[in-house]
Every structure is written in C-alpha cells, then in structure tokens.
Amino acid sequence: MSDGSVREAFRSTFGRAAEGLVRAPGRVNLIGEHTDYNDGFVLPIAIERRTLGAWARRGDRAVRFVSRQATEAAEVRLDAPIRPAKPAWANYCRGVAAGLAARGVPLVGADVLFDSDVPLGGGLSSSASLEVAAALALLAAAGAADAVPPGELARLCQKAEHDFAGAPCGIMDQSIALLARAGQALLLDCRSGESRYVPFDDPAAVLLVVDTQVKHDIADGGYAARRAQCHAAAAALGAAALRDVDEAAVAAAGAAGRLAGKELMRARHVVGEIARTLAGVEALAAGQLGRFGELMYASHASLRDDYEVSCQELDAVVELARRCKGVHGARMTGGGFGGCAIILADAARAEAVGRAVADGFEKRFSRRCPVFATRAAAGAEVLP
Ligand code: GLA
C-alpha cells in the first residue's frame, strides 16, 4: 500500500483523479493501559501502519465512502440527519460526519476511498485511524482543514465511536493518531488534555509488535464492564475518578472491607498503572530501558491478574519474550482480550527475538503470529 496505489484505486473506483490524500496512523501504547477513562495518564506512540484516504469533491450533497478492506460502499446524505446504518464499518465515518456537521463545519459532497495496513480489530486502533482519516478528508474537502483544533477533533472522533459504533472507548487512540510526532511518545493527561512529548528514538532498542490475531471488539461488553467497575470503585472511595486515589488508599479500603472483589482488583490495577506510567516516563528520560522493561512486565501482570483483560496467547508471547536474550520488557497493548503484545528489545537481538517468539507461539498454538518492528511515527496529516 502506498500513496500512489491509493490514488490509483480512487481513479479506478470513481473514474476520476483524487484531489488530495490524508493519512492517520495506528498506535501502540507503551504503558498506561485502561487508565484513560479513569482520568489517568497514557504513553502511546503512533506506529508506521496507517490508514490512507483519497478524496475528491462531488457536485451534490452526497458523501460516498469506499474501503479497500470492505466489500460494501456507504453513502451519507448531507441534507438529512446522519444515523448509524449498514454497512457497519462506515459508522465510524458517519459518526464523524455527524459530529462535524453538528459543530457547524460546512461539509460538502465528496467521494472518499480508504486503504489501511492497520490490522482490523487487532488492538492497534484501526478504528481511530479510520475516524481520524475520515475527519481529515471531510475537512479538507470542505476547505476547512484547520477548522477544528486537534484536542477537540479527538473528542469528536471518540464521540463518533461511542454513538455510532457502540464502543465506549477512552480518548487515547484518537489523541495519539492526531498528536503523534516521529521519534516521540506522548504522555497524555486524560483529565486535563495536557500532553508532553517523551523521546522514544534510542537507536540501541527496537520495539516489536506481535499480533496474536485473536480478534477483540470493545463493543462486546468486557470493556464497558471494566469501565463500570472502575467508576463504582471510585465512588466507593469517595473520589471523582481513580486518578485521585493512591495505592495506600486502595489497600486501606480493601483491608477495611470498603472495597472488595472485582472492584478492588480493578482499582488496584488502575492506580498502580498510573504510577507505573509516570515512573516509565522517568525511566525513558534517563535512558533506563531495563527499568522501563520491568514496568512493562509489571503492567502486563496487573492487566492479566487484576484487570483480567489478557488471554493465553498474549501471556504466551510475554513469557516467550522474557526468555530471550536482549529483551528489556514485554506486555499486552491496547484494550486486550486478544490483539497485540509489544516487546522492547536490543536492536542487535531484535530479529532473533522476533523469530524465537513466533517459533514458540507456533509450537504452542499451531499457527504463526505476525511480528513487525516499528518506530514512533508521525501523527495524522493532510497531504497536498
Ligand atoms: C482501547 C480504547 C482506549 C483505551 C484502551 C485501554 O484501545 O479505545 O481508549 O481505553 O483500550 O488502555
């Protein structure tokens, strides 16, 4: 997939040239999992996998969406209320169009064609990259590329996912797709929306992404249940959000019986994970990859045992990685219940590590898992 092949596909689909291209990346989260909807901190990077969108205006009030990853096209009429409909994949785009229209962006009719190498439903935020690509294409077609500031656009895309796809996601994925910078991770405060960049470009290390190919869907209930348990735990602690609580308070509430069972487990994960994220930023800033790796392992264990969002394939990847020479750390990344794990490895050993993990995975599950290396890539952009 390249800019040229997407332009070519646009031409053969719509019989005319695209006027412009947009690009929006997928992501992995280095650490800070299931903290965004608890007002906490996250530390994602954009990856080199991305969704491309080619667009051209039409003379009428229709927007047609086509995806090379889907068989059915979708049409949205700009002069009627925009609602969720079939095909389901285009609901991310419909939701974004509805949000932009509600905000008063003067949308125009357009044809939009997407192509993506972000695995769908693979935990790398294929949906956020589609939302952001759709938003940038519609804005560019309307001649309003800079009309909505990135923080607001991230919230608009998040709302599209809530209202049109039924997925109650946090703000991390859309934010990193829009705000990422090459060679940098993004420390995002999900309460204030403030962020800062943390260099993630040490040439001595490589980040491997291992796709278990176990599909997950954050609209299927497990994610929403975690959210509800976190909010119940915060209420039991008398806090607005788990962000406002520390590890000692959770332990004390557990000992006193004010917090128990799943709510205690969820709170312990979130509060510990926020602390690990901030410690991770310090470790990266000091160039302490070993220390960062220990935090990754601890994050994974907490997601597996207290948050219960890992699965045997993700656990196996982390354990296989831990046994390899030259690995600093590994953990599941994203919402969980499947999807991808990440491994931070010495650059000189990365290839061998990838092979060993894929071999071990195949022995255990009788199929190979794709492994690829990624750098911290740039955020979404409108290309001329
Ligand atoms: C999914 C959601 C994010 C975030 C992660 C878990 O990717 O879309 O908002 O909650 O899960 O950290």
Residue reference for tokens 């859309």: 174
Q: CA of 257: how far to CAs of 228, 262, 265, 282, in Å? A: 19, 13, 13, 34
Q: What angle do CA 336, 342, 348 make, to 5 degrees?
A: 170
Q: What are phi and psi of 325, to 5 degrees?
A: -70, 140
Tokens matching residue 303: 């997601």
Determine the distance separating the centroid of ligand 1 and the alpha carbon of 316, expressed in angstroms: 22
Angle between helices 150-165 and 91-102 (to 10 degrees): 130
Tokens matching residue 51: 């969704």
* Secondary structure (3-state) at 170: coil
Question: Which residue is catalytic, options 36, 111, 115, 173?
Answer: 173
Residue 363 and residue 49: Cα distance in Å, rounded? 28
Given phi > 0 = left and psi -120 to 50 = alpha, else beta, which region is 276? alpha
pLDDT in tens, the chain (384 residues): 899 999 999 999 999 999 999 999 999 999 999 999 999 999 999 999 999 999 999 999 999 999 999 999 999 999 999 999 999 999 999 999 999 999 999 999 999 999 999 998 889 999 999 999 999 999 999 999 999 999 999 999 999 999 999 999 999 999 999 999 999 999 999 999 999 999 999 999 999 999 999 987 766 789 999 999 999 999 999 999 999 999 999 999 999 999 999 999 999 999 999 999 999 999 999 999 999 999 999 999 999 999 999 999 999 999 999 999 999 999 999 999 999 999 999 999 999 999 999 999 999 999 999 999 999 999 999 997
Q: Can you spell out the DSSP letters for 262-308?
A: HHHHHHHHHHHHHHHHHHHHHHHHTT-HHHHHHHHHHHHHHHHHTS-
Determine the distance separating the centroid of ligand 1 and the alpha carbon of 110, expressed in angstroms: 31
Radius of gyration of the chain (CA): 21
Residue reference for tokens 């309460």: 191
- Of all protein residues, whose CA lies closest to atom 11 belonging to ligand 1? 335
Residue 221 and residue 59: Cα distance in Å, rounded? 42
Is 187 in contact with 40 (CB distance < 8 Å)? no
Ligand 1 near 336 CB (within 6 A): no
